[in-house]
Structure 1
Amino acid sequence: MEAVVTVDAAQRIVLFNPMAQVLFGYAADDLVGQPVDRLIPLRFRAAHRIWVEQFGRTRSNERRMGSQRQIFALHADGHEFPIEASISHSEGVGTKWYTIMLRDVSERVKANEAQMRLQEELHDLADSTLLAREEDQRAIAGELQQGFGPRLRALHEATAGIAEQMQPAVFTGCWRRLDAIRISLEATDRSIRRICSDLRPQLLDDLGLVPAIQWIATDFEWRYHIAVMVSADTCELDGHSSIGVLRIVQEALTNVARHAQAPQVHMMSTRWAATVRYPWRTTE
């Protein structure tokens, strides 16, 4: 059952049903003949009076109230509560009546607010998890570069030095083995560099988002022999947002390689306000 309040053309209460008495905490005898303003928070009274008068001049017989914003009512004890309401008007002999049907939506509003808080908490948790993972990946990439990089280069230089001192005609077998070791070391070095780049592209920290995307596109072409065209607007994002965009680009290219079977990819970025969009188009 809904609360029903009927007012006359002067916006004085003429009917206050039992549900309205429960909802507002007034007895009907206390409000009949009183201005409806007593049920409206002070800051909304003037606007409400004008709105009702304007509604009375329209051809519409019924309209939802507060379609653009949440509306509030005023309880007898002074506290405000959110409501959902609709209004209709009718004419009698020499007068006009406005009937407002309303219900308390406090529980619904609380549930919506709780859901929004939960979504914000989940979003914050996801952000924290992403940042922690990125920091771990940055640390792992640094350890790989600093630990294995110098050692591989030292081994490469050592094998190159030994190979230079050998005459291929005399030490053919050893020279071939050293050359094979050199090739293996170079391949290992490239693999470590690629792993480090996948973990955390150095270009992102050094030059920014767009150069990092272009580098990823070039590396993708080399790996999969799929042409990538990059059309990117220059944009400045914070580190967290840049990482997010970069991961989206990497994941999208990975999906292209696995599922699209396309000879080329066109990657575009366009910035509006504080957003960056990357529409994707694969071309057969």
Structure 2
Amino acid sequence: MKAFAPGSVTAVFAPTESGDESRGVSMAIEDGIVSDVQTAGRTEVVLGGDSTNFEPVEGVLAELDVTARVELDADIPIGCGFGASGAATLATALAANEVFELGHSRDELVGFSHVAEVEAGTGLGDVFIQSAGGLLMDDGSGRRRWKPTDAVEYVSFGGVSTSEALGDDELMGRVRSVGGRILTSLPDNPSLERVTRDAWEFARELELPTGRVRETVLEVEAEGGVASMAMLGETVFAVGVDGVLPNRTTVSHHGAHRL
């Protein structure tokens, strides 16, 4: 049984005091991950033809109390700010629920996936936008979702350790403060261009962008677009340009689903 979950790009976020959830603005994209789940005597996760340790995927299978062989096919870079761990975990939960006839609701599967991500230190809420699709904003007053039609271009130069960043109390304290302020300043239904512009202010104030990220954002701006850094990865996403960055996708409006 196969299931697909879109990748996601978090533009701005602000962890809650408890550290197990996050407010923010994120979008789901059409590029994502397919998980093929098959019954097996022991759990094995295969990525690109090779067995790998994929803690949140293994964690959600343990939460579901099943063992399986999981083959992942990724159209997005792993560990580069595209929510790949969340997409893999959510797609696996959806497929496993069907294979093993577990009867869990979608909300329960999203919850199990979220817990697996938090416990693995790989994400604080990617699975919510990956389940819903569209652009999702939570400024503390509740989640709001809408469906922008902008094309999104992106390029990735490498990864940032999400678990290390989320475990850095000093950094997360600054993220909570700056991210909270940015979220409060956004209008109720901001355009994707506005979100991206404010996201770049967020990233720069936290001194997160590398030299390559800064140079790429300047290239986008020189062509009349806006760009920022995906959280968390050495990755630039942009709107308002055509052919400036090597990868082009759109916002996914449908969210994760079985294939």
Q: TM-score when scaled to structure 1?
A: 0.24
Q: Which has a greater percent of strand?
A: 2
Q: Which has a greater percent of helix?
A: 1
Q: Which has the larger radius of gyration?
A: 1
**Which structure carries more relative contact order (alpha carbon 8 Å, separation 6+)?**
2
Q: TM-score when scaled to structure 2?
A: 0.26
